Structure formats: C-alpha cells, structure tokens
Structure 1
Amino acid sequence: MLLGALQPRQRLGILCAKQSSLDQRMLTGVGIREDAPIVVAGMEHSPGFRGAILEDQGWMDLDQVRGEVVGTAVRLVTDHPEIGALLLECSDMPPYAKQIQDATGRPVWDYITLIDWIHSSVVRRDYDGFI
C-alpha cells in the first residue's frame, strides 16, 4: 500500500530498531518483494536508543533518543534523496514522527497512522462544512 503511494523512481525509507531483524523473510511475509524500492536504516548503533529499547536498560533519555531517531532519518534522506516517504517500523518511534517530518520534509507513516486510517473508515462522522 505505501509503495503504491510513491511516485515512479521514489523509494520508501524504513527506520527500524535493528536492521538485521528486518530481513527479506520478514519483508516477504508482509508482501514486500525482494526488488521493492526500499531503503532500511536501523537504530542499533545509536547508544541512547540501543540502551533504552534494545537492551531494556530501564530508563530513557528522551532528548537523546529523539535526536538519534531524527538524525538517522535525516541521514537516510540525505544519503538517498530519492526517498519519497518514511515508515517507522518500530513502535517506539511514533513520538518523533512530527520532528522527523519537519526535518526531512517527507510524509511519515507508522502504526498510529495505520490505526487512524482504519478507524476513520469504520467510525465515520457526519459531514459538516463546505465542499
């Protein structure tokens, strides 16, 4: 679905907790072909994120982790300017989605945008306003 929303020659950037965990077997399992136009970056080399999320150290420096996640997204888009949108694979990343969007100028999807999309199709509101 997300790949279909991109322009021709654009790629989807995926930020995940640990890049090696997002292997082709997992991607195939969610319908992403091996030749899909994606670029993946993991957070396993970022000390604040790694300690708090991957190693479960029991505390998190929110400013440090925010900087690491946003910085990784910026580097990904800088290294791959053909990225048209970003997907936050890790459930610990949505709090930084707005900062990522502001810093990269790209649309950002995560599990919260998926829930909002499904909710909006199931729980419709009465229309009020102008077309």
Structure 2
Amino acid sequence: MDRVFRGDPELEPAYIAAAQRLVERGAVAMTASCGFSVRYQTAVAASVNVPVALSSLLLLPTLLHQLPPDAKIAVLVADSKCLSDDMLGVYNQAQRARIAIGGIEGGILWRNEMQRPPPPTEVPDIEKDVVACFARLQAEHTDIAAVLLECTGFPLVSTAIRRMTALPIYDIITVCRMTIASLS
C-alpha cells in the first residue's frame, strides 16, 4: 500500500497488465482498491477497451460544478501528505481553492494498512478516524457543502458520515454504480 500511496512509477506496468488480464477474462469495467491509484488512470484507460475508473477523485471536477461557487468540498483521504494537486484533476486555482483536504494519517486504519499483512480494522475505528478528520476540516472550513471520500475503506462509514453531516457524500461506490449503470 505504501508504494501506491507514494505513487511508485514502477507499479504502472503492473496495473496495466492486471487490467489487460481482467479484460481478457471478461471484465466489462475496471476499478481499483485505493483512490491513490488515480495516478495510473490515464495509462490503464489507454490500455483496455472498457470503462476505467480507478478512483473517486475522478468525480472532483464534476462535483465542484454541482455546488454553488462559494461552497467547498471536503476531500477525505487516507494520507494527505501523499496527495498531490495533480491527482485532483482541478487545474483552475479558483476551483482548487474550493477543495479542503484532510487525511487520517496516523489513525488506526492508516497504521493497519501500513503493516504487511494488514490486520483487519474494525468499522467503529474507521468511523472514528473519518469523523475526526471531517471535524478538523469543518472547524477550518465552515462552507463545506459536500464530502468526497478517497479511500476505498471509507464507504464502510459513508452512511454514518452522511447522517452526521447532512451533506452529500461521494465515494468509490458512487463511481462504480455510475460506471456499471452506464453499461446496463
């Protein structure tokens, strides 16, 4: 996981080969198990002839257009220190200023995912990490109007976060449902 977080360029051929094998076996769409896989999105999409959506971060430009121009979107990630601006797909500085980024680095889920093999993380522990992250962001950015969850472990708590915040919550499940619906 650490190599994906850091964006190891040596992983790109492995992503491409895995995608091609899956398509050969009948896959009709492609996703990934870490939102930081967005770094390999372009290469994987170019290598196969099926829809590829490796990260919920792909939604960010669209979500910004759905919100009022003075509203912000909270992007909650596994490790904010490993998230670079180029991964956001937002190149306009005014739009970039509307993105509040927070990470759970140092939290239970993050610590567990850094171990090999990673031990299971209990859902209440994930919720605690994500809630604390959102609370920090909300204290600093009172104009948050939506939340985008980057980590593929976060959908386990998206309903709780939605209930707590009363805001729209988007995650990799949102992306997968949209992609699969387009194939039906």
Give the match for residue 90 of structure 2: 32
- Counterpart of 1:111 (choices 164, 172, 178) is 172
Contact 2:112 2:120 (8 Å CA) reproduced: yes
Q: Which amino acid aligns with 1:70?
A: V
Give the match for residue 75 of structure 1: 136
Secondary structure class of the residue paired with 2:113: helix
Following TM superposition, the consecutive aligned residue runs of length 4 or more in structure 1 with deviations greater than 3 angstroms are 54-57
Contact 1:89 1:110 (8 Å CA) reproduced: yes
Higher strand share: 1
Give the match for residue 16 of structure 1: 77
Give the match for residue 54 of structure 1: 114
Q: Distance in 2 between matches of 1:45 and 1:90?
A: 14
Number of residue pairs matched by the alignment: 119
Q: Label 1:81 to 1:9 Cα distance change in 2 as closer, same or farther (>3 A).
A: same
Q: Which amino acid aligns with 1:42?
A: G
Question: Which deviates further from its counterpart, 80-89 or 57-66?
Answer: 57-66
Q: Which amino acid aligns with 1:32?
A: V
Q: Provide structure 1 residue ranges, at least 5 long, that are not aligned to the other structure.
A: 124-131
Q: Distance in 2 between matches of 1:21 and 1:95?
A: 22
Q: CA RMSD in A?
A: 1.8
Give the match for residue 87 of structure 1: 148
Secondary structure class of the residue paired with 2:65: helix
Secondary structure class of the residue paired with 2:167: coil
- Counterpart of 1:5 (choices 66, 91, 99) is 66
Higher helix share: 2
Give per-residue Cα distances to partners, 1:70-102, cap 9 Å, x unaligned: 232233223312111000011111111011111
Q: Distance in 1 between matches of 2:168 and 2:114?
A: 26
Q: Provide structure 2 residue ranges, at least 5 long, that are not aligned to the other structure.
A: 1-61
Give the match for residue 4 of structure 2: none
Q: Label 1:55 to 1:43 Cα distance change in 2 as closer, same or farther (>3 A).
A: farther
- TM-score normalized by structure 2? 0.59
- TM-score normalized by structure 1? 0.80
Secondary structure class of the residue paired with 1:2: helix
Contact 2:76 2:102 (8 Å CA) reproduced: yes
Q: Distance in 2 between matches of 1:62 and 1:95?
A: 7
Q: Label 1:54 to 1:34 Cα distance change in 2 as closer, same or farther (>3 A).
A: farther
